[in-house]
Amino acid sequence: MTDSSISHGDRPDRPHVVILGAGFAGLAAMKVLGGKAVDVTVIDRTNHHLFQPLLYQVATAALNPADIAMPIRRIVRRSKNIRVLMGEVQSIDPERRVVRLDHGEIPYDFLIVATGAGHSYFGHDEWEKDAPGLKSIEDALEIRRRVLSAFEVAERESDPNRRQAALTFAIIGAGPTGVELAGTLSEVARKTLARDFRRIDPTQARILLLEGGPRVLAAYPEELSESARKQLEQLGVEVRLNSRVTHIDPEGVNIGDERIEARTVIWAAGVAASPLATGLGAPLDKAGRVKVEPDLTIPGHAEVFVVGDLMAKFQDGEMVPGVAPAAMQAGRYAAKSLLQQIAGKPRKPFHYVDKGLLATIGRASAVADLRGLTFSGLPAWLLWLFVHLFFLIGFRNRLLVMIQWAYSYLTYDRGARLITTTWHGLTQMRPETNGSESHRSS
Amino acid sequence: MTDSSISHGDRPDRPHVVILGAGFAGLAAMKVLGGKAVDVTVIDRTNHHLFQPLLYQVATAALNPADIAMPIRRIVRRSKNIRVLMGEVQSIDPERRVVRLDHGEIPYDFLIVATGAGHSYFGHDEWEKDAPGLKSIEDALEIRRRVLSAFEVAERESDPNRRQAALTFAIIGAGPTGVELAGTLSEVARKTLARDFRRIDPTQARILLLEGGPRVLAAYPEELSESARKQLEQLGVEVRLNSRVTHIDPEGVNIGDERIEARTVIWAAGVAASPLATGLGAPLDKAGRVKVEPDLTIPGHAEVFVVGDLMAKFQDGEMVPGVAPAAMQAGRYAAKSLLQQIAGKPRKPFHYVDKGLLATIGRASAVADLRGLTFSGLPAWLLWLFVHLFFLIGFRNRLLVMIQWAYSYLTYDRGARLITTTWHGLTQMRPETNGSESHRSS
């Protein structure tokens, strides 16, 4: 079958821009290119843009997946020059200027690679099944299932050691995601579930935050790391610094010689760039990110931009961080640059404007570093709330999230406490039965 | 391990009531027994009560799973005499008065079996993978994934026949669920998705409602069936009566000699009682339901009640229908009966009070039969809306559902248009690639 319509649309005279990935960087590029004199094809493996900073709230049953995800098609509905394809990119051929999908190729005049990053298990991929990370909706639902199931298993369990293991949660890595998860899980156990069980006392759950380095939130100023650690401990989290995990299995984790029995382990430690980066022929850094030129393109290919978490860009001796604002700035820059080039204007180099760092820890707990102005606790948390609501896409989502947050804040309840599994059809799903149980006296 | 605490709680002198299943019948029984002088154990294979009448709205991306599901523990949080166990019941032994779980047994003094019904493929279980039914959250998410993916596949597809097959949806069975699904899917294609694609025109989607019998909604008076058929056709559904499906495969369905290429097939035709019924030693009807005594118990075991969709109960020569109001009445009756017996009072027979039938078809379309008073269209739909919002559990759910319905009604948009799959970890999910595609001219 031959079909070129997808590649250049109805206007073969217009340059064709292909955007890979509809995260923060890809979406920012789309918004610039909508309605402009270019044809755009966006390819993503999912059908939705995901507001990743709130993903931990799906994992901890506070929000629904649809509250933080929006169909890409819906976002660009009015931009008739943008097509969206749900598909998996196999590879990129910069020499022939084509992107290879499962079944076919798409040629481009400009390419914006924004496929982001996944988890890295530092060479221990076998750990993943026992310690899922948090990058996608599927990840979040899997973590939610494991967390809520752990309390169910504990309630059925009659052996005290196994029961305590079911009530022990280990979060590996004390970056922003690990800190958010630990703080929130502690709240779930101590507040949300406190009165819902009869045999177990959920407030006895242990939440361990295991960090290989000497402090939490290593990217933040030292006094904020210390403040975050204190706020975590006030929320009931056991923070273990300089604790490098050496082994993970379904029953727990090892830190050197120490063994911790923990039925639920969550990975928030390592990030690895999308494997698509390797095929570009550009130099990569240790995490697999693409070392880009000052204009975010790859050497020898001024038509190929790499943006977002996939790019390795230094500015003033420091790496541009893998955060949403940086991704949005890079995406917007790439789109504007190629429009300038089409218009025959010269490109300016990319300049990242650092607006600060903001991390939440739990209810009324957060830390903020606004270019030297640091603060923590309630003021930082209110700022976090405002910023995240403001940037959450779509009026409707914003309203629903606001209602659910207000409800949760007032009642400590969480609206999405569902244990769901995969569709198996007539082979009905079964609850997890790792724990032994015996309900009858003998 | 021995452990009798689960069976009789802290008060071994109190009778122990075990309720299997937390659907409408089980929940109604729980509410009667909460706070009474009995110990209650509720066992369900999921952690939530599901408001099944709105499940089709999850399948069609209007509502989130958590909007229509509530953790069972949360519902009975304040009833300290009720324990909830998430678990799979293997069998029931009425002689020894025990329920067998995966790992252990639970003895009972009274048993309320309310495990409901699943799909029946009339001896063709192999059809299920190509034609899922709609009973659980997992079913609904699977149907949502298939429906939304079909449009994505069509957009990628360059072969016109395959594209049309991707845009053809066959719903088998024109009972209430089939009618709701067909009407709503038509609205999704014609309104929600209308402007979101570039190559395909979603309004060209074919929605087929295939019914083996001579009319839709066979349980309703004939003029309402006719009204429902007309309302469906106004919404763009092709209603095919007297069309018995003889074969289903991944590419479509056969009706006798006729072949219909349809990538998405949904089963709404047959219902089979929970297999637990077979172990009771009581007589069953053809659909596997338990033929109960006038007091909803099984012959020879006045302590075992069978309620909800699992019971076969005749009243005035007609079967009590498998609808939520009947299940709630039966659950309440069983709970009250056993309390009366404990109090030494005689039991009265169960009497079903028929409050009427109500089925929705789509936007402003419905039919109602209130004990002879029949009406359809907007008035029936408003009644449907009111009744369903009223009975939806929990203030919070009600509020969120109301907002989402108002939003959908005004904008034709749907808030939960997510394609999600199973958690696979590093083995990243892939979009479906049944259709061939080729994007490059050659």
Chain A residues with beta carbon closer than 8 angstroms to that of B195:
77
| Continuous segment of H or E residues that includes residue B381 | helix B378-391
Main-chain phi, psi angles of A81, to 5 degrees? -85, 5
- Read off the pTM: 0.89
The per-residue pLDDT for A424 is: 57
Q: Given pLDDT bands bounded at 50, 70 and 90, which one contains residue B390?
A: confident
User: Chain A, 134-173: which have a CB under 8 Å from a chain B CB?
Assistant: 137-139, 141-142, 148-149, 152, 155-156, 158-159
**Is A425 in CB contact (< 8 Å) with chain B?**
yes
Q: Would you say residue B7 has pLDDT above 70?
A: no
The per-residue pLDDT for A129 is: 93
Q: Would you say residue B436 has pLDDT above 60?
A: no
Q: Is B180 a catalytic residue?
A: yes
pLDDT in tens, A206-235: 999 999 999 999 989 999 999 999 999 999
Is the ipTM higher than 0.90? The answer is no
Contact A267, A397 (CB under 8 A): no
User: Chain B, 89-108: which have a CB under 8 Å from a chain A CB?
Assistant: 98, 101-107
The per-residue pLDDT for A5 is: 38
* C-alpha of A401 from chain center: 18
Chain B residues with beta carbon closer than 8 angstroms to that of A422:
138, 422
Contact B337, B343 (CB under 8 A): no
Q: Would you say residue B148 has pLDDT above 90?
A: yes
Written as six digits, the tokens of B181 are: 């699904």
Q: Would you say residue B27 has pLDDT above 50?
A: yes
Written as six digits, the tokens of B79 are: 């009833």
CA distances from B225 to A382, B54, B268 (A): 56, 21, 17
pLDDT under 50: residue ranges of chain A = 1-9, 426-442
The per-residue pLDDT for A395 is: 66
Cβ separation A440–B413 shorter than 8 A = no
pLDDT in tens, A112-121: 999 998 888 9
- DSSP code of B212? S
Cβ separation A158–B3 shorter than 8 A = yes
Q: Given pLDDT bands bounded at 50, 70 and 90, which one contains residue B54?
A: very high
DSSP letters along A189-201, please? IIIISTTT-SSS-
The per-residue pLDDT for A2 is: 34
Percent of chain B with pLDDT over 90: 73
Chain A residues with beta carbon closer than 8 angstroms to that of B420:
65, 137-138, 141
The per-residue pLDDT for B432 is: 32
What is the mean predicted confidence (pLDDT) over B66-87? 93
The per-residue pLDDT for A275 is: 86
DSSP letters along A158-184, please? -SHHHHHHHTEEEEE--SHHHHHHHHH
Q: How far is B6 from chain A (nearest CA, A)?
A: 6
Written as six digits, the tokens of A318 are: 């420091």
The per-residue pLDDT for A371 is: 84
Cβ separation A433–B71 shorter than 8 A = no
Higher pLDDT among residues B80 and A418, named by residue: B80
**Is B197 in CB contact (< 8 Å) with chain A?**
yes
B390: exposed, middle or buried (Cβ count in 10 Å: 0-12, 13-18, 19+): exposed
Point out the residue among B7, B47, B125 whose CB comes nearest to the CB of A426: B125
Q: For residue B6, what is the nearest residue in chain A, using CA coordinates?
A: A439
Among B368, B437, B409, B419, CA closest to B184: B409
